[in-house]
Amino acid sequence: MQQGPSLDAFVLLKRLAMGAMSEVFLAEVKGVVGPDRLVALKRMRPEVAGDEAWVRQFLDEAHLSTLLNHPFLARLRTYGQQDGLLFLVFEYVHGLTLAQLLEARRAAGLGPLPWAHAVRIATYVSECLGYLHALRGREGQPLGLVHRDIHPGNIMIADTGAVKLLDFGIARRTGRLTETQPGRVKARLEYAAPEQLREAPLDERTDVHGLALTLHELLSGVQPLRRDNPVRTMEAVMKEVPRGLGAVRPAVPEAVQRSVTAALAKQPAQRPSLMELRTSLDQALRAGAPLVGLPELAELVAPWLPGSGRLPWSQDRAREIPTVTHTADLSHPPRNTKG
């Protein structure tokens, strides 16, 4: 990595999140005034700085971030290293992740998101994924990019209502410095697609599955495949079909219910394409849903934004659960468990 700015150019104000590989801080750029003075600084954790595999994964994210330019992505401003610690500097997005928003609404007794808001968010994320899947490298070569870690903790709603897709630390693409080792699953298990656990080839339909699971959770208020231990969660991902949305949220239009169910098919070939899913969701919105755009999404998160004094969680609890690389014997499907 080329030498960029020093960490001494930034004042770390507050830790925003911590994962297995890195931690994210709200930081201030010294000597800068105006809104650009605040940034999100993602720094490698000292505990993993000497691990070559983690270093390469961090470099993969840095190299990919230099190629990305889309309104639904947080913009990379610069990157560098100091004392063996690599760091990335992104634009700061003042807002909440969908995971934080769901938690805040539960604590306030409000339930899941209004269906039109949830579907509008999903259409925006699908637009961003379409950009990513079609992305080419600097020489014009297809990158075959798959995010493979779509879940509510990696999608943010800004105070402006803008939707931002986050965290490309485990994104799969052609030319990565690191490849997933056999028997290791890089994802949060309850949001993984079956083909990730089978170690089968991944493509855009893996992200279709992740987006559908996220939309299911936004509409139902529960994660449909999470179980009480990793083995049971893996079994649910591989075999169980999530309960239909109509049973838990009858007000959701049938067209949306059918789209989500189809996108959660266990076999990738049976899922709609990303464009088909986006089209069906957009048609459902056009068929009589209330108007939902940036102002309405901004209104959705405004009561719980940091600084409003109404956050239901403590500063320590504000950390996102890190994406976990699970090591398991995936050569055989999980055996049935009772109880």
Q: Which residue's structure tokens are 């959770």?
A: 217
Tell me how far CA of residue 165 lies from CA of 32, 211, 326, in angstroms. 26, 11, 23
Assigned token pair, 239: 């075999």
Residues identified as active-site? 149
Tell me how far CA of residue 44 lies from CA of 137, 149, 245, 315, in angstroms. 25, 19, 40, 21
Entry field: residues in the chain:
339
Assigned token pair, 197: 């656990």
3-state percent breakdown (helix, strand, coil) of the chain, nearest 5? 40, 15, 45
308 neighbors 290 (Cβ within 8 angstroms): no
The whole-angstrom distance between residue 149's C-alpha and the CA centroid of its chain comes to: 6
C-beta neighbour count of 308 within 10 angstroms: 10
Distance CA 253, CA 258 (A): 9
Distance CA 181, CA 183 (A): 6
